[in-house]
Amino acid sequence: MRRIALALGATLAALAAPAAAPAMDDHMHDPMASDAPAAGVSILVGSYTPAHIDVLAGDTVRWTNDSVRTHSVSADDSGWASGRLVATDSFSHRFDAPASVPYYCTLHPFMRGEVDVHRVLLRPPAEPGAPGRSYVLHGRAALPAGTAVSIEADSGSGFQPAGTTTVESDGSFTSDVLPSTTASYRAVAGDDSSPAVQLLVLDRKLAVTGSGRGRAMKVSARVAPATHGAPVVLQLKLPQHFGWWPVARAKLDHHSLARFSLRLAHRYPARVVLTLRDGATPLAVSRTLHVGPR
């Protein structure tokens, strides 16, 4: 029974893998699955964008010439080169071993970029966390399944242990951390360490008010500091659902406010929860109201 607490399996990983997503935006991408580009670099008139990328050993990077000029992509050590790339041309190269790989344009040598190849990568957190609330970090490793990975955090006094996990069969790993303040995180496996990523931690408060007569109820929620566009969920504590159950969802408006209207035949405990974009991971929870006819 307890084994269901493991991370979701490869089936859902496949479901969640959009095609040709950038390496670190696609936490469920299988690094061993194919040579499909894991990261993309746009070649502009006078620069590579982004000029620096971190990829996993085994990842393929694709450069696309999005300018009207002809360019090239050539490794400083002459280990590989694209040749001339006219507008819309692209060039892909697979990086198999950890290294820092500087490259340049042979036609415009002032244009420089670098690919840093790692055995362990952490995905930069896309959303702020909350103090004392669990936050899941995602990563990938070019290491055997079962390899132990340590998560370390640095909030100003050097890296300290913040969690441990193991590499899944598809090369991914996840780790629950419990942040108290904004910190840098890195994943360490043996002698290999990922680049650090920052998790912003915000302490947001959620105030709620309820009003209404009879069965018609209104619940308003305000988040401070203001968090325009973040998802909030109205939950009722329902016996038939064995706990708190989402009954309505909204996004905070420009005033960091959300309003819910509902009709209830009975009286229930209610609360509003500010969540991550998954609509379920709590960042702030309101006090409990009682809504519905007395």
Partner 1 sequence: MAVTGAAASAAAPTASAAVREYWVAGVPAPTWNMAPNQRDAIHGTVLTPSQTVFPTIVYRRYTRRWGHPIRNSPARSSNQDLIPGPLLRARVGDRLLVHFKNLDTLYNRPHSMHFHGVHYKPSSDGAFVPGVSGRDGDVKPGQTWTYRLTAGSDSAGVWPYHDHSPSMEESIAGGMYGMLSILGRDEPRPDREFEVIFAPMGDFQTIDGRAFVGNTPVFTSIVGQTVQWDVMAMGSEHHTFHVHGHRWVTPDGSAVDTKTVGPAETFAIRWKEEDPGTWLYHCHVETHMMAGMIGTYHVRRR
Show contacts with partner 1 in window 203-242 (CB under 8 A). 240-242
Q: Which of 112, 269, 281, 289 binds partner 1 (CB under 8 A)?
A: 281
Query: Smallest gap, in angstroms, from Cβ of residue 265 to partner 1?
Result: 13
Cα separation, 13 vs 225, whole angstroms: 35
Cα separation, 161 vs 152, whole angstroms: 4
Q: Which of 32, 225, 265, 278 binds partner 1 (CB under 8 A)?
A: 278
- Is residue 11 a contact point for partner 1 (CB under 8 A)? yes
3 state DSSP class of 2: helix
Enter the tokens of residue 185: 């995180």
Cα separation, 129 vs 201, whole angstroms: 5
Q: Which of 83, 161, 214, 279 binds partner 1 (CB under 8 A)?
A: 279
| Whether the Cβ atoms of residue 233 and residue 279 lie closer than 8 Å to each other | yes
Query: Smallest gap, in angstroms, from Cβ of residue 167 to partner 1?
Result: 16
Show contacts with partner 1 in window 236-275 (CB under 8 A). 240-246
Show contacts with partner 1 in window 121-160 (CB under 8 A). 134, 136
Residue range at the interface with partner 1 (CB under 8 A); choices 15-23, 33-41, 150-158, 162-170: 15-23
Q: Which of 9, 132, 161, 293 binds partner 1 (CB under 8 A)?
A: 9
**Sequence-ordered strand ranges (E) for 44-147:** 48-49, 52-56, 60-65, 74-75, 90-94, 99-104, 112-118, 120-122, 135-141
Q: What is the DSSP letter of 227?
A: -
Residues in the site for partner 1, rule: CB under 8 A? Answer: 1-9, 11-12, 14-16, 18-19, 134, 136, 174, 176, 240-246, 276-281
